[in-house]
Structure 1
Amino acid sequence: MTTLNNSPAIILIAGHWLGAWAWDEVLEQLDTDDSRAIAITLPGLDPNDPGRSTRTLEDQAETIGDVLTRLDVSKDQPATLVAHSGANAPVSLVLDRRPELVHRVVWVDSGPMATGSAFASDLPEEVTELPLPPFDVLAQQASLDGLSAEVLERFRAKAVPEPGPVLRQTVELRNEARNKVPTTMVCCSIPGTQVMDMARGGHPMFAEVANLENLEVIDLPTGHWPMWSRASDLAKTIQSVASRTS
């Protein structure tokens, strides 16, 4: 697809169980006169895909790459990738393979994955998909702060089980140029100072952060889903970051 709009591209990618719909409130508030902002649904998270439970991280990374191509992203006009939570795995692969196409990566309550890591490498092979757990269980793993009963009801109604292959697949990275891509970490459920302490201490969740050469940390205190609990503030942060010339 060839576009006549030469403004920078912003690609929003939500985490586990979520599709493009998760960014609706953020998209409404992004200044699209100055940017081409789109949200995408990764393979495996489209409820109408009959083979979705077999989709892999490779499928997801290839889809992001295809979107970059469709938006005419290039070295001269790179895109901003916004990755929430579990979208960090496919986005880490894209950064490793095509770092020159990324103007900046924004990790939303997330961060880059290290080579050799997987979200759930010990998930049994017979588990084909992982449904959204009950909220009392989920709250033990990620903060639900700021989410109303109405938002939780929508989350439950729209959530799609996460494909087993996506959760089990190991991320293999080879290109150190990925660490040179300008990076913004939007820290929500864990304060930025704590994230950096964890990174320096080699915590598996954030160990890769210590290797980043151009890092900015922004605190946006709320729960793990700021696209719902602080949509306006998140949109302003993304817009500000994406509009920078360096």
Structure 2
Amino acid sequence: MNVILIPGFWWDASLWRDIEPALRDAGHSVRSLTLPGLAAGDDPTAIGMADQIDAVVAAIDAAGSPVVLVGHSGGGPIAWGAADARPDRVSRVVFIDAFPLPEGGSISDEWKVVDGVIPVPDWSDFGEGDLLDLTDELRAEFRERALPEPARVASDAIHYGGDAEVRHRIPATLIATGFPGDDIRAAMAGGHPFMAELNALSDAQIRDLRTGHWPQLTKPAELTAELLDVLG
């Protein structure tokens, strides 16, 4: 299976460095993306959500066969936007502590913006569940490796251009880490507006992996096992 790994905010492709080897050993072709605005030499102030979606679409086109998109955090909506553009080429989207945005929704407008980018926030800006298992050592590593995020990626509204019925037939798996799967189910059952797209899917599975928002750091072996099980 062709697998494209998409990092969330403040991370480049290296977020997946402890995940990739086992996926490859299992016979999968793996490509980890550094999205526009986070690569060396990029101007993050010039990058919006559509630019990152286009980059994932280009990776899908380059894969040459159907792919599984794995999107973490803010990378989840980017993955879903790309799946909307190439529904016939995407066999599944895996959301890690993420979910698909409803039409017109944005990832977040709450983060502090400085000169067109979102610096890594203070730990106090995250929820307790986000930081579960993130030790002092891992927090220091996080700060050393993290990159400023293009602000427009967070605030831009997503607009789907494909056929909604086709998009909603793409299988999806949600791996809930920083927030429990039961909370997602409750929000779906309650008709929360941000769950509209998720509620429209014909095949959506929710799995729990209890740890913080960055399982690639806190529980890489367990996350890898979940991905391998999803990939079959």
TM over 0.5: yes
What is residue 23 of structure 1 aligned with on the other side?
16
Q: Residue by residue, what CA displacement relative to the aligned partner does 1:62-86 show, whole Å, maximum 9, x if unpaired?
A: 111111122213xxxx111001100
What is residue 182 of structure 1 aligned with on the other side?
171
Report the residue type matching 2:200 in the other structure.
N
What percentage of residue pairs aligned between the two structures are identical? Answer: 28
What is residue 150 of structure 1 aligned with on the other side?
137
1:110 to partner: Cα distance: 0.7
Number of residue pairs aligned between Structure 1 and Structure 2:
230
Q: Structure 1 residue 197 and structure 2 residue 195: aligned?
A: no
Out of 58, 64, 84, the residue aligned to residue 66 of structure 1 is: 58
What is residue 147 of structure 2 aligned with on the other side?
160
Are the aligned partners of 2:36 and 2:42 in contact in 1 as well (CA < 8 Å)?
no
TM-score w.r.t. the length of structure 2 is 0.91
1:200 to partner: Cα distance: 2.0
Report the residue type matching 1:26 in the other structure.
I
The 3-state SS of whatever aligns with 1:152 is helix
Q: Residue by residue, what CA displacement relative to the aligned partner does 1:10-68 show, whole Å, maximum 9, x if unpaired?
A: 1111111011111111113324341101211111112x224122111111111111111
Q: Structure 1 residue 225 and structure 2 residue 214: aligned?
A: yes
1:211 to partner: Cα distance: 0.8
Q: Distance in 1 between matches of 2:11 and 2:113?
A: 22
Report the residue type matching 1:105 in the other structure.
V
What is residue 82 of structure 1 aligned with on the other side?
70
Q: Give 5+ residue unaligned stretches, structure 1.
A: 1-7
Q: Distance in 2 between matches of 1:211 and 1:218?
A: 18
Q: 1:216 to 1:128 in 2, by over 3 A?
A: same
Are the aligned partners of 2:171 and 2:204 in contact in 1 as well (CA < 8 Å)?
yes
Moved more, 80-89 or 22-31: 22-31
What is residue 215 of structure 1 aligned with on the other side?
204
Q: Structure 1 residue 134 and structure 2 residue 122: aligned?
A: yes
Q: Structure 1 residue 39 and structure 2 residue 65: aligned?
A: no
Are the aligned partners of 2:77 and 2:98 in contact in 1 as well (CA < 8 Å)?
no
Q: Give 5+ residue unaligned stretches, structure 2.
A: none
What is residue 97 of structure 1 aligned with on the other side?
85
What is residue 4 of structure 1 aligned with on the other side?
none
Q: Distance in 2 between matches of 1:68 and 1:198?
A: 31
Q: Distance in 2 between matches of 1:109 and 1:126?
A: 25
